[in-house]
Structure 1
Amino acid sequence: MSHSLLKKILLLIFLCLIPVFFSSPHIISKTAAMADSEFQPNIIVLNYHKIDNKNISLSVLPQDFDKQMAYLKNNDYHVITPDDLYENLEHNKELPANPVLITFDDGYKDNYVNAYPILKKYGFSATIFVITSFLDKYPNYLTWDQCKELKKHGFYIESHTVTHRSLTSLSNKQIESEIVNSKKALDERLQQDTHYFAYPTGTYNLYIAKMIKNAGYRAAFSIKYGNVTNDSNIFALERIPIFHTANTFKSFYRRLNYVPLFEKIGWMKN
C-alpha cells in the first residue's frame, strides 16, 4: 500500500471519529499526546485583539477569555515568551511541553483592564504589540504607565509601528520611519531593547522583512494562519487568530487541537 493511500485511509478514519472527539475533549488530548511522541511539537502563537463585551469579531468576551485561559492551565499548556521562542528557533533552546505564546495586537486599553487580571489569575503573561503614537493619545488604547506596569509583571510590550499603516503601501522612507521610530519610542519610554514586531494588517514582503531585521528586531509576526515550526521564517512567524463567534470556545478548542494535529501528521501545511 502506498504512503499516500495510507494517509487518505487514516484521514477518512479520523474524520469519521470527529463526532466522538467533540463529545469527549479528553480523547482528542490523548490523540494529540500520541502524535507528540512521534513528531516534534509545534509552537502555538495565539493572536487576540480586544477582550471586551462588544459584539464584534475582534472582541472576545472576558468570560470566554477566562474559559480559554482556564483550559490552557488545566490541560498542561505552558505559556512561553518571545525570547523563549526566539532562542528555540535560533539556538535550539528546549521548550516545555505544549508551548503557547499569547499575543495581542494594537494595544487596546481592555488588554490592561480585562485581559491582564485574567492572565494574572492563571499565572500567565502575554506579548502586546502596540501602536506607539496611540499610547496616551486615544482613551481606548493603553497608556505608557499601563505599559510600564504590564512590563513589570512579565509582559512584553513590542512594536506594531507608529501609526498602524500597511507597510506595503508606504515608501521605503515611510517604512523605515514606522519601524525605527516605534522601536525608539519603546526603547526610551520602557527602558528596554525592543526585539519583536507585528505587521499591521499582516501585510509585508521579503524586502520589508529585511528592513525589520536591519532595524534591530529579532523576529516579526504575521497573521499567516498556522503554527511555528523549525521551517518558519523568523521574520514572518505564523499565528492562530482567536475571534468572537457564535460558539467562541468551540472555535478556540478546534484551532488549538485540530490544526496542530493535522500539521504534525502532514494533512495540513502552513
Structure 2
Amino acid sequence: MVRFSRRQGCFIIMGLIFLLLLASSTISTTAVVAGHNRNRDIGAALDDVPILNYHKIDTLHHALSISPQDFEEQMDYLSRNGFTTITPDELMAYLNHGKALPEKPVLITFDDGYLDNYTNAYPIMKKYGFTATIFLITNLVGHDERYLTWEQVREMQRDGFVFGSHTVSHKALTALSREQALEELLSSRQEIERQLGSKVRYFAYPTGAYNSQVEEMVKQAGYKAAFTIRFGQAGAESNPYALERIPIFRGQQTFRSFFVRLNAAPVLERFGLIRN
C-alpha cells in the first residue's frame, strides 16, 4: 500500500482540483457573465456568484484573523483578475430577476464588525476600488474598543459599504426562545436603521446556526435575505434565507487556501460535491 505524507496529500488534492478546472470548459472561476444573465422566473439557469466571508484583518494567530498583508494579496489577485465587488441588492436583483451583473462579480462580506475592518481592511479595499458588506453586532458597536464605532460605520457607508445585522448580542438564534430571537432580529435592524438612516435588508446568522423556524423569523423581521457559513456559491438553487459563502481562514499557506477555495467552488458544485 502506497502511503503519502500530509504535504504530498495536499499537493495531490490540489492537482486533482486543477485537472477538474481544466476539464470543465464550461466553468469559469469568475462565476457570472453579464451577457448570459437570464430571468430565474422563466426557469433559465443562472451562473453562481462567489461570496467571500471574512472576520478579522489583523496579525493575531487565530484561524479567523487574516493578516493585512495576506488580505492585500487576495484583493490584489481579485483586482488583477478583473473581479468587481457587488452589493447584496445587486446579488438579489440578479438571483430574483436576472438583472445583469459585472462580468466577474464577487460579494465580499465581514461578520461581527471588528475595528480592524476599518483600520486595516477599509484602506486596502479603497486602494483597489472595492466595497464590502459588514454584519454588525449592535450591542458592541461604539461600546467595545475591539469593534467599530458608529462614526466609522457611517464613513464607510458613504464610500459604498453596506451594513447588515448580526443580531444584538451574537447569540445563536436556535438556542433562544421565539420571543428572544425576534427581539435580537428586530432590535438590531432598528438600531442600524436609526444610526444610518437607511433600510437594513440583510442578515448573517451568528455562529452559522439556523433552522426552518429561524428562517421564518428572519423573514418576519423584514430581511430580504440571510447568509450562512455553508461553503458554496450563491445561485439559482440557493435559498435566499440560507445563502452559501466561501469562508476565508488563516493558515500556513493562506493565499493558496484562498485561491483553491475561490476557484474550486464552481467545480465542486458542478460535480455535486457541495450544495445538494
TM range (shorter): 0.7 to 0.9
Structure 1 residue 263, shift from structure 2 partner: 1.5
Aligned-residue sequence identity (percent) comes to: 47
Map of 1:3-22 to 2, 5 A cutoff? Answer: 18=15, 21=18
Q: Secondary structure at the match of 2:234?
A: coil
Query: 2:56 is matched by which residue type in structure 1?
Result: K
Query: 1:105 is matched by which residue type in structure 2?
Result: D
Could you tell me which of 188, 197, 211 is aligned with 1:205?
A: 211
Structure 1 residue 131, shift from structure 2 partner: 0.1
Q: Secondary structure at the match of 2:170?
A: coil
Could you tell me which of 36, 47, 51 is aligned with 2:53?
A: 47
Runs of 4+ in 1 over 6 A off after TM superposition: 30-33
What count of residue pairs does the alignment treat as equivalent? Answer: 250
Q: Secondary structure at the match of 1:134?
A: coil
Change (3 A) 1:147 1:18: same
**Partner Cα distance (2:160, 2:98) in 1:** 23
**Partner Cα distance (1:91, 1:101) in 2:** 18
Q: Is the 8 A contact 1:259 1:268 kept in 2?
A: no
**Partner Cα distance (1:121, 1:219) in 2:** 29
Q: Does 1:268 align with 2:245?
A: no
Bigger CA drift: 77-86 or 90-99? 90-99
Map of 1:58-207 to 2, 5 A cutoff? Answer: 58-207=64-213
Q: Is the 8 A contact 1:41 1:98 kept in 2?
A: no
Look up the match of 2:7. Answer: none
Structure 1 residue 41, shift from structure 2 partner: 2.8
TM-score between the two structures when normalised by the length of structure 2: 0.85
Q: Does 1:35 align with 2:27?
A: yes
**Structure 1 unmatched ranges of 5 or more:** 1-14
Q: Is the 8 A contact 2:47 2:236 kept in 1?
A: no
Look up the match of 1:252. Answer: 258
Look up the match of 2:248. Answer: 242
Q: Secondary structure at the match of 1:132?
A: coil
**Structure 2 unmatched ranges of 5 or more:** 1-11, 37-44
Output the aligned Cα RMSD: 2.2
Q: Secondary structure at the match of 1:133?
A: coil
Query: 1:106 is matched by which residue type in structure 2?
Result: D
**Partner Cα distance (1:102, 1:255) in 2:** 14
Q: Is the 8 A contact 2:166 2:204 kept in 1?
A: yes
Change (3 A) 1:16 1:207: closer
Query: 2:62 is matched by which residue type in structure 1?
Result: I
Q: Secondary structure at the match of 1:238?
A: strand
Q: Secondary structure at the match of 1:35?
A: coil
Change (3 A) 1:235 1:117: same
Change (3 A) 1:65 1:19: same
Query: 2:15 is matched by which residue type in structure 1?
Result: I
| Cα deviations by residue, 1:142-172 (Å, 9 ceiling, x for unpaired) | 0000000010000001100000000000001
Look up the match of 2:3. Answer: none
**Partner Cα distance (2:93, 2:117) in 1:** 26
| Cα deviations by residue, 1:199-237 (Å, 9 ceiling, x for unpaired) | 000001111111111111100001111111100000010
Q: Is the 8 A contact 1:131 1:162 kept in 2?
A: yes
Q: Is the 8 A contact 1:104 1:126 kept in 2?
A: yes
Query: 1:46 is matched by which residue type in structure 2?
Result: L
| Cα deviations by residue, 1:81-126 (Å, 9 ceiling, x for unpaired) | 1001111111111212232100000000000000000000000000
Structure 1 residue 259, shift from structure 2 partner: 1.8
Query: 2:248 is matched by which residue type in structure 1?
Result: I
Q: Secondary structure at the match of 1:197?
A: strand
Structure 1 residue 269, shift from structure 2 partner: 2.6
Query: 1:179 is matched by which residue type in structure 2?
Result: L
